[in-house]
Each structure stands twice: as C-alpha cells, then as structure tokens.
Amino acid sequence: DTAVSQTPKYLVTQMGNDKSIKCEQNLGHDTMYWYKQDSKKFLKIMFSYNNKELIINETVPNRFSPKSPDKAHLNLHINSLELGDSAVYFCASSSGNGYTFGSGTRLTVV
C-alpha cells in the first residue's frame, strides 16, 4: 500500500503547455511538500502545506501553483512550461520525524 503516491510518473510536454502533477498520502501526516530535484540530484524545497494552509513558499516562479484540497492531497500546477522546468518533482509528507517521499514525477519539457 503506497504511502505517498504521485501521478503521473513521467510527463513529456512542449514548451508553453500547462500541466498538473497530483500527490496523495495515506499516512495521516499534516504536512505535505513539493521538492524539485535537478539533473545533479540536488533537492530543493518549493512549497509546504500544513492542513491545507500554505506554510513555505520558496522563490518559485508564479507559474507554479500548489493546491491542497485536503490534508491528504497536494497538487502542483505549472503554467507556460519552460525548458528549465525539466526536472524530477517529488512530493513528500511528514509528521516531524523526517519525510516520506513519493517516487517522483520526471518532467521533460521539449
């Protein structure tokens, strides 16, 4: 039974398109996150939500908009995709003793 699940696993799209990534956790955690991992494996936080409330919003372009309909779900919508958005996007959740990550969404913008 997957603890943090993301869909889709792979996403290939053209520049200028709008796309969404969905994330769901069944761990009962209050906090969910989006992280971006670049080609050098560096993981950087983008957003965090605690019980549907935005807590952390790092310096991320306005084209990225997270949405949390309930505390078990955190989606990421990206407008006007650019080549530089190509990366692996990880969803995670936590209750205060480290994160549980999803398996990632590999986004390729062509």
Binding site for other proteins (CB under 8 A): 4, 29-31, 40-45, 48, 50, 55-56, 90, 92, 94-104, 106
- In angstroms, give the least distance from the CB of 102 to other proteins: 5
- Residue 71 gets which letter from DSSP? T
Q: Which is closer to other proteins, CB of 45 or CB of 77? A: 45
Q: Which is closer to other proteins, CB of 41 or CB of 69? A: 41
Q: What b/e sequence results for 66-99 when a residue is b if at least 16 CB atoms lie within 10 Å of its CB, and e otherwise? A: bebeebbbbbbebeebeeebbbbbbbbbbeeeeb
- In angstroms, give the least distance from the CB of 70 to other proteins: 16
Paired tokens of 69: 């309909």
- In angstroms, give the least distance from the CB of 67 to other proteins: 17
- In angstroms, give the least distance from the CB of 80 to other proteins: 27
Q: Which is closer to other proteins, CB of 14 or CB of 108? A: 108
> What are the residues whose beta carbons fall under 8 Å from the beta carbon of 49, sequence distance 6 or more?
31, 32, 33, 55, 66, 68, 71, 74
